[in-house]
Amino acid sequence: MSGRILLIEDDADLAGMLGRVLRDEGYAVKVASDGHTGLHVALTRPFDAMIVDRGLPAVEGLDLIARLRSRGVGTPILVLSARNSTDDRVEGLDAGAEDYLTKPFELTELLARVRALQRRHLDHAEQLAVPGGLLDLSTRTVRQAAGGRVELSEREADLLGLLAARPGVVFSRADLLDRVFDDAESETVVDTYVHYCRRKLGQGVISTVRGLGYRLGGT
């Protein structure tokens, strides 16, 4: 599983190490070194998950999370903290985080928790990151990063939503036909709707993996 992760951590050595590990796992990682910068980035760019240190300068970690939730940002968040009492964990979860991991921790556990966060989020998300914007499944629109909204048909939104829910996964035409176009008989309908999505959102929104099928983004 891959995706976009925002890492907000003021310890430069830890942030550098975690960034390298996450990138090796296939994630695109943006690092912010203080709460103010992290808040700005989180409010202006879509991410699939965030890792937030609790003891941040400028804006404390739990305050940052509470501000994001108050502004409607639903991206799943994992808190990192050296504070490990039950009360500390409860405070983190009450602030709006989905998970809480205490320092020191094993990298394998952190990666497993990030994957679990993504799976739970993607299975229930109404908003998903797509190249150049954010797909809102409830309104079948894409809010573009450059401004403006693009309306999609029901089938276009279903197709793009399936690909966006599993970024990096290649779906065969037969898979897409079965999951999105179950009342159609020919796989050519998949190609047709891929063309429609590209026409509205640009060629880079869906890539063709030769001999295998389609996946979100790429070239």
CATH number of the domain that residue 188 is part of: 1.10.10.10
Instruction: Specify the number of domains making up the chain.
Output: 2
Q: What is the pLDDT of residue 122?
A: 61
In this prediction the pTM is: 0.60
Average of per-residue pLDDT across 73-96: 89
Residues 6+ apart with CB under 8 A from 24: none
Question: What sign has the CA pseudo-torsion 122, 125, 129, 130?
Answer: positive
Alpha carbons 170 and 165: distance in angstroms, whole number = 12
Q: What is the mean pLDDT of residues 175-198?
A: 90
DSSP annotation of 205: G
Mean per-residue pLDDT of the chain: 88
Statement to judge: residues 31 and 19 lie in one domain = yes
CB contact at 8 A, 15 and 103: no
Same domain, 53 and 33: yes
The verdict on 11 and 115 lying in the same domain is: yes
What is the extent of the structural domain holding 157? 127-216
Q: Are residues 161 and 63 in the same domain?
A: no
| pLDDT class of 219 with cuts at 50, 70, 90 | very low
Regarding whether 139 and 112 lie in a shared domain, the answer is: no
pLDDT of residue 2: 61
Average pLDDT, stretch 155-177? 88
Same domain, 30 and 51: yes
| 190 and 113, same domain (yes or no) | no
Q: Does residue 127 have a pLDDT over 80?
A: no
Residues 178 and 189 in one domain: yes
